[in-house]
Amino acid sequence: MVETIEYQPNRSELGHTIGGRTPVLRIHPGTGLRVACEDCFGGRVRTTDDLPSQVCDPHRLNPVSGPFHIVGAEPGDTLAVHIVAIEPTRDWGVSATYPAFGALTGTHQTPNLQTPLEERVWVYEVDRDGETVRFQDTNGRYRVDLPLEPMIGTIGVAPSGGEVRTSVVPDAHGGNLDSPQVRACTTVYLPVNTDGALLALGDVHARQGDGELCGVAVEIAAHVTVVVDLVKGVAIPGPRLETDTHLMSVGCARPLEDAYRISQHDLVRWAAELTGLDTLDVYQLVSQAGTAHVGNVCDPNYTMIAAIDKTHLAGAVAFGGIHQRLRGLADAVR
Amino acid sequence: MVETIEYQPNRSELGHTIGGRTPVLRIHPGTGLRVACEDCFGGRVRTTDDLPSQVCDPHRLNPVSGPFHIVGAEPGDTLAVHIVAIEPTRDWGVSATYPAFGALTGTHQTPNLQTPLEERVWVYEVDRDGETVRFQDTNGRYRVDLPLEPMIGTIGVAPSGGEVRTSVVPDAHGGNLDSPQVRACTTVYLPVNTDGALLALGDVHARQGDGELCGVAVEIAAHVTVVVDLVKGVAIPGPRLETDTHLMSVGCARPLEDAYRISQHDLVRWAAELTGLDTLDVYQLVSQAGTAHVGNVCDPNYTMIAAIDKTHLAGAVAFGGIHQRLRGLADAVR
Amino acid sequence: MVETIEYQPNRSELGHTIGGRTPVLRIHPGTGLRVACEDCFGGRVRTTDDLPSQVCDPHRLNPVSGPFHIVGAEPGDTLAVHIVAIEPTRDWGVSATYPAFGALTGTHQTPNLQTPLEERVWVYEVDRDGETVRFQDTNGRYRVDLPLEPMIGTIGVAPSGGEVRTSVVPDAHGGNLDSPQVRACTTVYLPVNTDGALLALGDVHARQGDGELCGVAVEIAAHVTVVVDLVKGVAIPGPRLETDTHLMSVGCARPLEDAYRISQHDLVRWAAELTGLDTLDVYQLVSQAGTAHVGNVCDPNYTMIAAIDKTHLAGAVAFGGIHQRLRGLADAVR
Amino acid sequence: MVETIEYQPNRSELGHTIGGRTPVLRIHPGTGLRVACEDCFGGRVRTTDDLPSQVCDPHRLNPVSGPFHIVGAEPGDTLAVHIVAIEPTRDWGVSATYPAFGALTGTHQTPNLQTPLEERVWVYEVDRDGETVRFQDTNGRYRVDLPLEPMIGTIGVAPSGGEVRTSVVPDAHGGNLDSPQVRACTTVYLPVNTDGALLALGDVHARQGDGELCGVAVEIAAHVTVVVDLVKGVAIPGPRLETDTHLMSVGCARPLEDAYRISQHDLVRWAAELTGLDTLDVYQLVSQAGTAHVGNVCDPNYTMIAAIDKTHLAGAVAFGGIHQRLRGLADAVR
């Protein structure tokens, strides 16, 4: 049986940075952790009248729970966070157009002189039993049910070099990856940059389209259950993911082709290391067998994910098979 | 019964531009067309000793068959090309690292001062019955079978404004889209810019990974069967695709986020027009329900595709249901 | 004495592509040529009531005079066009915000869902004697005189590979460079891609800011006097410029860093070739002594220019001293 | 007479982040400050044998002196730092190719699979009296003197939102701007994000080319003399500069066109505010009269600067004329 720690933050314990905060808990590798996470608006946007720019402090968006000190984690290690379950807390979620945010509007990084897009809120019904979320248009004329596919928007560790980053930014430390691949049954690997790693997470989505087009997903509060473990003495350059079938590398950058390059480059290097094949051969294999997934095209860094089916990699086993082991533990945690 | 015209070009009839050439055939809307297409190397790369830069003329890469004059096509119309079948001609395909081409090397557009990457060729066995392609590493130590998933790399019409573009470039006229979505059972919509549209196609791939990472897919010669039709008096800003389940918009641009923006923007506008919903509502819906697909991240313009399930669009029917009609005809052509 | 040919096109002789047209004149190397050029709106925008989108055909913007067949020019040569003089034809110029064009608004390549920016025209007085252009704000409350600094916006030759490009695009063949460095006393070098080179030029600006921010400079008609010459058997990868003091390489691409990379990369290669210094040493020298100039950040490709003072290059002489020779001829032409 | 405080850090007092550190001094507005700054390698690279990757800790590059607590500075204020003098400390400077850094090589953000560029060091003689720096090629065959034009590479204040950034990054808080415009007689305006502002600076360059092409300028230790002042209750979105003749806005972003957009957008907004002119009119005026300057095209964010001559802005006076006032004080400090 795996010990599982419950963590429910007070509002004052929520953080808005990755790094730079005192740990709220110490967690031993191999431990389960069930964390309550607020939505990206801190729960303040509940109706179509609650415009985010009016009800939220712009410096206090995207709250994260944590950080959790992982006992024994040291720089140069890799943190493995296996996601066991993501359970929506409420029967609703929200989305919005937020000022100067999103891929089809001017932003602080791509400014223009046009009149800003209207700020508007959409409230979705979340049917946890039926596993759907219901979109409704502004006039209430049109409704459609979309699959409930919960995912963690923000998960990361303290950055390297003593940096502290807002929780809105994704980068080599993880953070606001906003990628649908970060879901239950996936193991997230993060580079440990500081003693204790300082894991933080939040910003759960009931679902999102690829790229998080308008900048805001179907935002929900949720309980997230993970099992945490360490790969000692193995360093990675940025986030990686593993599922039962795939290995994935995450790239965070602008322009978007650089996020593509980083993710594919890391996957080629990783696969070459795991298989012992020549790097150019792996470059070729990934060119034909690899897939590319768009996380976000709206955050301060964009996110893309490179993936390959493990059966194409000559039976390669990553990180000593830790994913498979954590998958087993997950049943004990659930 | 649908008339089907066979077209087998002589080598001298192959083109290397989209636009700027005399039609090889006149095709009436509603006609089937079975076209022989050479591979992107003009069939000159057959063994690992045939380095493309040595056996190919750099200005004569990526040959296309055509152009086909579509009778009655006028500027402001939309050409519908329904792909019935893509049949590999040979039992092998090739890929390569080509000098100054690919996403993980310096190129003419992203030059650097490092030593160029080694040029190398890989030959794949294509098993048409087993529907696989076999990767083999350079030393012959490792083999793996990947699914045979044939697709058309290059399909387009004469550009607007009297332009003539090399067949290597994708843009609003189509061209070298290099996207796995351009496969059998898909209808490709292209904007007609000139009388007769001047359809050309080629560069078939046995398969490719997302982004065509190294710049070269599993390149094959093939017979491509299409049914061609016209949507009179309806103009589109760039290529669109339709399958039995999805509507898709194609964006071609650099940087990659602009290809994303163009494709998603067109999908939002198109879906708003089809459903009558408010544009911001569709922006929201696509943000949660839409997907994004990476075509190429190596050509002079990159390609991305925005897609949405038609069931999420209130029963919207595109272009008067032409896709469904062509799907029916396809059975008669096959 | 240098022979100087006058060329005054009829309206119907103006072109809107680079390449793809029959030469209007044959010019021998060493000849002077005085060409009348219309402004980018074909002279149709004359008052603040003449909105370009209403008075112009969008496919007939940016007319160019030519093409001129340069006798003896063959692929693999370099065309040298020394600019002797740029004389404004009228005492006014115009600028505008044009729909979906400019760096601080949504465009076809960077689309958004905001309301488009207002289309508006500004008319400038051009004082040819005083060498100023007068800006006046919309309400007529504020006026300021700016220096008259005439430059050629569009100058290019037929592209390689049989391409024909709209005159709005800059690329390796030159075209719509929109760079203030293309002014009198400068020699423009262009790669010859086809017999006769097919030089075309137009789109003169009374002046522009760096990047042509709103997408439209102070647009004027002008007489442009050049002396044309050939460097036989010397190929260049893209446009280069030479003044009495500087060597410059031009890069055209998106994103803007790729235009920077292309221009700086070519300058490093060129300077290494001219000086015989090691490439890394020249990379270092250009890193400290080179300058970078922003041409346009609004056209389908952006333009940047890398420059270095010739005195920093060990007395290097480019193209056998052709610039200095043409400078001498210029006095005879004027 | 202006009080001038001298500050000479111990090596252990040097910082490698902007924000996140305890102030080393409290400075009152109106005070002069003469700060000793180490070079970007911490003085460890002194000969061509001292390869940076071998003699430096990669997490301890680009040291900054400070931070200085500016008494009375509060969020929402603007900090004005007038640069009085930049005096090189030594008679030499160094540059280098550094692994995975620079515009013409693969980097962590734009990775490739090619062999890395050779790491190499160049040592420059700095002639403080003759005001030159001497480049010498690797083989000692070629020497050339370039103007000594000292500039501050890194100057910034604690970022907003509790962020701490490595000193290698430029952004809205300033930081590693690497722009030649940050030189003596310029006033740098920075947004105050936290009590005391926490000014830090370092990374002085004897000179650099536009874009800092290879990623490393002519790096020197120096004494930097500034006068610090506050504009209370006036917030700015990012760094701005003022000289006797020009107003400038700084943009930091990737891709490079976004740095251009941010800088030009801020200059348009700022000039509209100062002149009371309509925004579109100012957009037009800056389009014709503005200049764009390339800071760096190698750091995690690129830097561009938009500038306009103050005489073109109807006698506009920025920040109540603080630049002119500090210029006067500078004479008293020197």
B104 → chain D, closest CA residue: D112
Distance from CA of A24 to the nearest CA of B (A): 33
CA distance B191 to B201: 15
Backbone angles phi, psi at C324, to 5 degrees: -60, -40
CA angle, corner C221, sides to C216 and C222, nearest 5?
125
Contacts B214 to A, Cβ<8 Å: 283-284, 287
**Cα torsion angle, D180, D184, D188, D193, sign:** positive
Distance from CA of A176 to the nearest CA of D (A): 15
pLDDT at D158: 98
CA angle, corner A256, sides to A252 and A262, nearest 5?
45
Asked if the Cβ–Cβ distance from D165 to A160 is below 8 Å, we say no
CB D164 within 8 A of CB D128: no
B1 pLDDT exceeds 70? no
What does the block give as tokens for D196? 């005391």
CB A40 within 8 A of CB A84: no
Asked if the Cβ–Cβ distance from A289 to B254 is below 8 Å, we say no
C253 pLDDT exceeds 80? yes
Could you tell me what percent of chain C has a pLDDT over 90?
A: 96
CA distance B129 to D7: 78
| C-alpha radius of gyration, chain B, whole number | 19
Paired with C230 in beta bridges are C79
CATH 2.60.120.580 in chain B: give the residue spans: 4-231
CB C308 within 8 A of CB C263: no
Stretch (H or E) spanning A25 = strand A25-27
Residue-wise burial string across D16-36, b where 16 or more C-beta atoms lie within 10 A, e elsewhere:
bbbbbbebbbebebebbbbbb
Q: Which amino acid is at B290?
A: G
Contacts B114 to D, Cβ<8 Å: 105-106, 112, 114-117
Query: How many cross-chain Cβ pairs, C to D, lie less than 8 Å apart?
Result: 186
Q: Which amino acid is at B149?
A: E
CATH 3.10.28.20 in chain D: give the residue spans: 240-333
CB A109 within 8 A of CB D262: yes
Contacts B100 to D, Cβ<8 Å: none
CA distance A242 to D90: 53
C1 pLDDT exceeds 70? no
Q: Which amino acid is at D129?
A: D
Alpha-helical segments (H) within chain B? 52-55, 256-275, 279-289, 322-333
| C-alpha radius of gyration, chain A, whole number | 19
B256 → chain D, closest CA residue: D255
CB D325 within 8 A of CB D319: no
Distance from CA of C210 to the nearest CA of A (A): 17
Residues of C with CB under 8 A from a CB of B: 16-17, 19-20, 59, 108-113, 160-166, 237, 253-255, 258, 261-262, 265, 268, 279-280, 283
CB A13 within 8 A of CB A59: no
CA distance C315 to A199: 60
**What is the mean predicted confidence (pLDDT) over D20-30?**
97
Tell me the average confidence (pLDDT) per consecutive run of 10 residues in chain A, 334 residues long.
Answer: 90 96 97 97 98 95 98 98 98 98 98 98 98 98 98 98 98 98 98 98 98 98 98 98 98 98 98 98 98 98 98 94 94 78
CA distance A45 to D315: 46
Is the previous residue joined to C255 through a cis bond, with omega within 30 degrees of 0?
yes
- Give the 3-state secondary structure of residue A193: coil
| Cα–Cα nearest to C155, from C183, C128, C133 | C183
Backbone angles phi, psi at A235, to 5 degrees: -100, 145
Asked if the Cβ–Cβ distance from B114 to D110 is below 8 Å, we say no
D109 → chain B, closest CA residue: B104
**pLDDT tier for residue B108 given thresholds of 50, 70 and 90:** very high
B202 pLDDT exceeds 70? yes
| C-alpha radius of gyration, chain D, whole number | 19
C333 pLDDT exceeds 90? no
CA distance C161 to C21: 15
pLDDT at A1: 64
**HEC string for A72-135:** CCCCCCEEEEEEEEEEECCCEEEEEECCCCCCCCCCCCCCCCCCCCCCEEEEEEEECCCCEEEE
CB under 8 Å to A140, separation ≥6 — which residues?
none
Contacts C64 to B, Cβ<8 Å: none
Superfamily of domain B4-231: Acetamidase/Formamidase-like domains (2.60.120.580)
CA distance B177 to B182: 8
The overall average pLDDT reported for chain C is 97
State the virtual CA torsion across D57, D59, D62, D66 in degrees, nearest 10. Answer: -120
pLDDT at A330: 84
Contacts D104 to C, Cβ<8 Å: 261, 264-265, 268, 283
D240-333 fold: Endonuclease I-creI (3.10.28)
What are the C-alpha distances in Å from D282 to residues B11, B29, C118, C179?
58, 53, 14, 21
Distance between alpha carbon C277 and the CA centroid of its chain, in Å? 31
CA distance C196 to C194: 6
Residue-wise burial string across C220-247, b where 16 or more C-beta atoms lie within 10 A, e elsewhere:
bbbbbbbbbbbbeeeebbbbbbbbeebb
Of the candidates B138, B292, B312, the beta carbon closest to that of A278 is on: B138
Query: How many cross-chain Cβ pairs, A to D, lie less than 8 Å apart?
Result: 77
CA distance A13 to A8: 9
* Residue found by looking up tokens 């509002």 in the block: A11
Of the candidates D104, D112, D117, the beta carbon closest to that of B105 is on: D112
ipTM of the complex: 0.98
Of the candidates B137, B281, B312, the beta carbon closest to that of A146 is on: B312
Q: Which of D112, D214, D260, D297 best probes binding to B when mutated, by most B CB atoms within 10 angstroms?
A: D112
Asked if the Cβ–Cβ distance from C277 to D209 is below 8 Å, we say no
Of the candidates D208, D277, D288, the beta carbon closest to that of C146 is on: D288
Distance from CA of D102 to the nearest CA of B (A): 10
**What is the mean predicted confidence (pLDDT) over C177-195?**
98
pLDDT at B2: 78
CB under 8 Å to B306, separation ≥6 — which residues?
B248, B249, B251, B260, B263, B264, B266, B267, B286, B290, B291, B292, B293
Of the candidates A105, A110, A255, the beta carbon closest to that of C113 is on: A105
Of the candidates C110, C114, C255, the beta carbon closest to that of A116 is on: C114
| Cα–Cα nearest to B255, from C293, D169, A302 | A302
State the virtual CA torsion across D14, D15, D18, D19 in degrees, nearest 10. Answer: -100
Tens-place pLDDT, residues C26-73: 999 999 999 999 999 999 999 999 999 999 999 899 999 999 999 999
Residue-wise burial string across B167-200, b where 16 or more C-beta atoms lie within 10 A, e elsewhere:
bbbbbbbbbbbbbbbbbbebbbbbbbbbebbbbb
* Residue found by looking up tokens 């030959």 in the block: B123
CB atoms within 10 A of CB C13: 13
The overall average pLDDT reported for chain B is 97
CB atoms within 10 A of CB A60: 15
Phi-psi region for residue C30, left (φ > 0), alpha (ψ -120 to 50) or beta? left
D1 pLDDT exceeds 70? no
CA distance D121 to D107: 18
C330 pLDDT exceeds 90? no
Contacts D117 to B, Cβ<8 Å: 112-114
First vs last Cα of chain C: how many Å apart? 10
pLDDT at A331: 81
The overall average pLDDT reported for chain D is 97
